[in-house]
Amino acid sequence: MLNGKSLLITGVATEDSIATATVRAALELGAQVRCTAFPRDLDAAKAVIAQVGAEIAVDPLDLTDAAAVASWVATRQGEGWVMDGALHAIAFAPRGALDGEFIDVAAEEVEVAFRTSVWTYAVLARCAQSLRAPKGSSLVGLDFDAGGRAWPVYNWMGACKAALREASRYVARDLGPEGIRSNLVAAGPLLTRAASGIPNFHVLTDAWETTAPLAWAADDAAPVAETVCFLLSDHARAITGELLHVDGGFNAMATAR
């Protein structure tokens, strides 16, 4: 499904991440993969990719750093590297933006969460624009739930994910004429490093256990990664501005079983 595709997978840091699961799935489907990691995570990311067992470049890249992004793009252009698709697997919120009273969070913490989790999607879109393959490119981001609900946990990250949904649609609008698609995957709760930073994360997994009609394995990112690969493939060539749920059907249920 991805034979000959050159893909960028961002946000690689740990074995349990959706990014790492996507690297594995993409390789199995025939893609050539390049990865980026936040600079402080570079050694950990390289160790994770080494376990995958393939020769994959892992570049340090902070998408919130405009100068670093410009340098990275220029280097890739100089190498003649083109990008058929990319996964945006980048999100962060200070703990204060995730816990406590929603209305009491400092503006600085919200700004960090928004800049990292939403604005970087537009930055990656610009990278796709600069490095796109002749037949276009596909950009995929990661959402959670997407049901328009206020959770007992998540707080400002929930607000950021709502903003990410709108950002994806605007990217689809602006870059579609250039053959660049923009879609999101709304995943159920997964036990990743990002999840470990969410206070009382069990509230989410407990909700899925009682409500999702299909069994949901919070320790298995493979179903999400496989859907990402579909959206990165030519099978999804007429899909943009969409959000696909990979959540065991949770989003379609009104109440717990």
Place of tokens 């997994």: 205
User: Given 121, 135, 154, 170, which residue is catalytic?
Assistant: 154
- CA neighbours closer than 13 Å in the CB half-sphere of residue 33: 29
Map tokens 């890739």 to a residue: 76
What letters, b where the CB count within 10 A reaches 16 and e where it falls short, cover 101-119?
eeeebeeebbebbbebbbb
Which of 46, 121, 135, 161 is labelled catalytic? Answer: 161
81 close to 32: Cβ distance less than 8 angstroms: no
For helices 120-131 and 66-79, give the axis angle rounded to 10 degrees: 20
Rg (the chain; Cα; Å): 17
Cα separation values, 222 from 20, 42, 188, 190, Å = 9, 23, 12, 11
Cα angle 146-225-154, degrees, rounded to a multiple of 5: 35
Full strand arrangement of the beta sheet holding 180-187: 57-60, 32-37, 6-9, 85-88, 137-144, 180-187, 243-246
Query: What end-to-end distance do the CA atoms of the chain give, in Å?
Result: 37
* Closest among 163, 144, 152 to 101, alpha carbons compared: 152
> Catalytic annotation on 46?
no
Active-site residue, 170 included: no
Are 139 and 171 contacting, i.e. CB atoms less than 8 angstroms apart?
Answer: yes
The set of catalytic residues is 154, 161
